[in-house]
Amino acid sequence: MMKQTASGTGVGAGYLLVAAGAGLLGGGASVLRQAGVMPDHGIWPGLEHVHAPLMLLFVVLPALVCGFSNLWLPRALGRTGMVLPVLNCAGLGLIALSGILTVALGAQLLPVLLWSAGMLCAVMVVLATIFDSRADFEDVRAFSPFVWGEMLASAVLLLTVPVLAAVMTHQLLSGASADILPLLDGFAEPVTLVTLLAGFGLVFEAGARGSRFSEKPVVAIMATTASASVIIWVRGVFAHGLAASVQQPGVLTSPENAVLSASTLASVLLAALWMAGTWRSRLSLRVPMLWGLGFLAIVSTGWVAQLMQGEGLHSALELGAVYATFCGLYLWRGESRGYWYPRLPAILQFVLMAAATGLSFSPLSAATQIWSGALLGASLLCFLVTMGMSLFQNRKAESDHVGASAPSAMLSSSEGTVQS
């Protein structure tokens, strides 16, 4: 049967641009508010109001799931491109339009419904591409950790996004309050789960060149956590509504705490497997590995806060999603595609981001907030310089740490680096 496929590079870049734009607007508003220089006119007050939806819906998910799947998935599966290209472009268009409307109109029902339709289109393309690769019996490769993470994260979104859209539609038809921010807060648990799955998939992929991991325990933990958490969350929404766990955060048996507890346990087990695979391995602190270790360090901080205070993992995974995104970007540009990028500004970016992160975990005075925002801005500037130089020269890496044997790095991980 003739299947229509298309390169996902342009669509993947589009998703990353959407995530970058939403991150700059939402993060910029947050930095201005922390520094006490937020303008009281123009779009800035509205951006501060929609900061949470921007970061929740338009940064984490488009980057970790939609963007990296389009950029990386065909190569990881040995395919020529993504299937269903028209549906793929439609998903990007709907999500981009939803982001524009969210900035212009605020967090309202129409932008969220458009986002839901676009996200469903995107994850259906991801799942169809993965399942289609198994239909080719002439060349079937074992899935890499990245592929497993993207597949399970897409499955979680496929099952939870319709629930969010249904609750929003019910609120519209019943004439309830037009404020949907509490409902979006209730959707934070699936986003946390997606961040866990996609983030650890990228972290395992970053260490796959120098370590050997056991595939079956990793897949079992990811799949069990995904399925159990989705069932718990959907059942809780149908029984109590999306905003119930937000209104009663102290209830130990709430769906929110159950999902976060499952995510905490899965994080501990996956990190233990990663450390066991890298123990006594000869690992070089390549740029993607630095971001992967930063992801693990932040998630570990979230474990401690979750166990000691009953909260903290959700916010830690949100911040960890930033580290996982940069890990994936450098891993894709350098070791998967084999292109050169300057290591010094890339390492400087990580150092500045780590310093800003350290300040954000401490009680912040006004001066410390300004320093944290300044370090974050300098880190993003270093990233722009790094990627700008890489894209401007656009040359293949030779024998440096970034891209030696880069074109085969991703395929080697799916052909034998992950052992079952």
Amino acid at 198: A
Beta strand 418-419 with 82-83 is unpaired
**What pLDDT digit, counting tens, does each position of 248-264 carry?**
444 434 667 778 788 87
Quick one: three-class SS letters along 139-184? CCCCCCHHHHHHHHHHHHHHHHHHHHHHHHHHHHHHCCCCCCHHHH
CB 180 within 8 A of CB 108: yes
Pick the more confident residue, 94 or 309: 94
> Does the pLDDT at position 266 exceed 60?
yes
Lowest mean pLDDT among 80-84, 93-97, 213-217: 213-217
Q: What is the pTM of this model?
A: 0.85
For every residue of 248-294, DSSP letters joined together read -TT-TTSHHHHHHHHHHHHHHHHHHHHHHHHTT------HHHHHHHH
Query: Quick one: pLDDT at residue 309?
Result: 67
CB 402 within 8 A of CB 334: yes
**What pLDDT digit, counting tens, does each position of 105-164 carry?**
877 888 889 999 999 999 999 999 999 888 765 556 678 888 999 999 999 999 999 999
Angstrom distance (rounded) from CA 203 to CA 196: 10
Angstrom distance (rounded) from CA 349 to CA 244: 40
Angstrom distance (rounded) from CA 385 to CA 197: 30
Number of other residues whose CB lies within 10 A of the CB of residue 370: 16
> Does the pLDDT at position 416 exceed 50?
no
**What pLDDT digit, counting tens, does each position of 41-74 carry?**
767 777 777 877 888 889 889 999 999 999 888 8
Amino acid at 330: Y
Query: Quick one: pLDDT at residue 406?
Result: 41
Supply φ then ψ for residue 198, to 5 degrees: -70, -40
Give the pLDDT band of residue 391 (cuts 50, 70, 90).
confident
- The domains of the chain are located at 9-141, 147-299
Angstrom distance (rounded) from CA 19 to CA 47: 15
- Determine what percent of the chain is predicted with pLDDT higher than 90: 26
Query: Quick one: pLDDT at residue 31?
Result: 67
Query: Quick one: pLDDT at residue 148?
Result: 92
